[in-house]
């Protein structure tokens, strides 16, 4: 019997569109002989839709028309498991609930990749691919992620973290503290956004306030860290779970500006690239695979990547991004982890010798293994507590029930 996979994507996030690209790529790479795929598109207002038209990327250009051809849905839990349930069901063409065996979240950014989506599946009791609540949440907050790495003795740049309110009450004081603790040049970024949103490189005190003003317009918690000026960026993907994981080959993404921008990442590669405006998501970024680094450096990064994966208790497929300081012996610092990376980093796995379709099989196996382990845990204990408790109330008088 086939496994029914619900692919969840979209959501209220600045990376909504990128998620659509990643999800449509994945849905078209899932083995149809093994799985039935049910798209679950979460619109920016949180309403969930399904429909056959969601498999085609071109249909998303006219979203109102696309959604008109789709159906609003929700999920219900019964004794048999979790099912997709059609809302506003027609009287004459009533659509039957669809039992979902596995959830496959392909979401990026806050309100979804940060553990919110994992929490939804945990609450429903639906097995799901990717990190659990705690590892997803740690991965989303760049400052907490650094704390965990430092605790585990893994390389990352130290940072100074502050709240928007603290800054707005006394801008001068916060700016002085940043200058004193970090020094210029430095980077200002919100701790929990992606796609380079709200990030600036700051070379002087004069530029600092503008950079923080920009960052606080996107997020409440901001970090400042030393900017690496002689920079190369190297990324590595890890696949597996805390028991057993493996690292992909490394890649080097290329940037047009001083920082890798949203445009570099999603709108088509390096300068003069023929892919300008293409819709391949992270797979279209200008990059070198494998990265042009020594075999020792690559091995060092792959080893650290597995350690980081285990340190945060990750599961599924992640991408860990590094900053390499070429003025300091190519020293590397883990910059961030993407617990649901753009395009699921499939291009790194294909370069490592694992086909995208087979990678999805592995992801499903990992998710079911976690569920089996959970099912073996004890979540209830028999007690007799309620048998002796009484508040002396007179039933449900006046209540709606
Ligand atoms: N400490 C740093 N020194 C130099 N460049 C940095 C530093 N931190 C970030 N950058 C640049 O900014 C880009 C975006 O920052 P990053 O922390 O990766 O945020 P995002 O989650 O938005 O990708 C990086 O890819 C890199 O080009
Ligand atoms: Mg990044």
pLDDT at 221 over 90: yes
Per DSSP, 310 falls in state H
Give the model's pLDDT for residue 269. 46
- As a whole number, mean pLDDT of residues 73-93 equals 88
What b-and-e string marks burial along 188-203, b requiring 16 or more CB atoms within 10 Å of the CB? bbbbbbbbbbbbbbbe
Confidence at 260, pLDDT banded by 50, 70, 90: low
Q: Copy the structure tokens of residue 62.
A: 């006219």
Looking at domain 3-128, its CATH architecture is 3-Layer(aba) Sandwich (3.40)
Structure tokens at 119: 């929490």
- Reply yes or no on domain 139-155+230-370 having CATH 3.40.50.620: no
CATH architecture of 159-226: 2-Layer Sandwich (3.30)
Dihedral over alpha carbons 29, 31, 35, 39 (to 10 degrees):
20
Q: Distance between CA atoms of 268 and 273, rounded to whole angstroms?
A: 7
Q: Is the pTM of this model over 0.85?
A: yes
Closest atom, ligand 1, to C-alpha of 335: 17
Choice from 149, 189, 341 to test ligand 1 binding pocket (greatest atom count within 8 A of CB): 189
365: CA distance to ligand 2 center in Å? 28
**From the CA of 194, how far away is ligand 2's center (Å)?**
6
For residue range 145-183, list pLDDT tens digits in order: 999 999 999 999 999 999 999 999 999 999 999 999 999
What is the pLDDT at residue 197? 77
Q: What single string gives the DSSP state of each residue in 383-398? A: --GGGG------TTTT
Atom of ligand 1 nearest to the CA of 259: 27
The residues spanned by each domain of the chain are 3-128, 139-155+230-370, 159-226
pLDDT tens-digit map of 298-357: 999 999 999 999 999 999 999 999 999 999 999 999 999 999 999 999 999 999 999 999
């Amino acid at each position: 019997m086939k496994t029914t996979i619900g692919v969840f994507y979209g959501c209220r996030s600045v990376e909504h569109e990128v998620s659509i690209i990643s999800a449509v790529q994945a849905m078209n790479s899932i083995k149809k002989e093994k799985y039935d795929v049910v798209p679950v598109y979460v619109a920016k207002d949180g309403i969930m839709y399904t429909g056959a038209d969601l498999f085609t990327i071109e249909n998303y250009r006219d979203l109102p028309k696309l959604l008109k051809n789709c159906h609003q849905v929700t999920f219900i839990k019964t004794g048999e498991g979790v099912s997709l349930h059609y809302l506003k069901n027609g009287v004459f063409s009533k659509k039957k609930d669809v039992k979902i065996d596995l959830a496959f979240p392909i979401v990026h950014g806050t309100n979804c990749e940060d553990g919110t989506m994992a929490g939804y599946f945990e609450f429903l009791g639906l097995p799901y691919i990717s990190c659990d609540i705690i590892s997803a949440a740690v991965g989303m907050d760049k400052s907490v992620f650094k704390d965990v790495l430092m605790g585990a003795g893994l390389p990352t740049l130290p940072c100074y973290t502050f709240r928007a309110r603290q800054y707005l009450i006394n801008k001068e004081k916060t700016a002085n503290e940043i200058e004193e603790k970090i020094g210029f040049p430095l980077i200002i970024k919100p701790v929990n956004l992606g796609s380079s949103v709200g990030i600036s490189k700051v070379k002087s005190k004069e530029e600092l306030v503008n950079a923080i003003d920009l960052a606080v317009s996107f997020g409440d918690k901001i970090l400042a860290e030393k900017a690496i000026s002689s920079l190369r960026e190297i990324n590595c993907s890890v696949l597996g779970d805390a028991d057993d994981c493996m690292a992909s080959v490394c890649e080097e993404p290329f940037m047009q500006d001083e920082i890798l921008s949203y445009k570099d990442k999603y709108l088509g590669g390096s300068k003069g690239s023929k892919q300008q405006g293409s819709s391949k998501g992270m797979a279209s970024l200008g990059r070198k695979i494998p990265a042009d680094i020594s075999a020792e450096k690559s091995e060092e990064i792959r080893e650290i990547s597995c350690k980081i994966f285990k340190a945060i208790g990750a599961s599924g497929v992640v991408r860990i991004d590094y900053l390499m300081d070429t003025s300091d012996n190519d020293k590397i610092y883990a910059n961030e982890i993407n617990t649901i990376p753009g395009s699921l980093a499939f291009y790194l796995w294909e370069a490592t010798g694992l086909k995208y379709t087979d990678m999805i099989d592995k992801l499903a196996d990992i998710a079911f293994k976690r569920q089996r382990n959970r099912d073996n845990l004890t979540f209830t204990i028999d007690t007799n507590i309620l048998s002796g408790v009484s508040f002396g109330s007179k039933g449900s008088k006046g209540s709606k029930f």
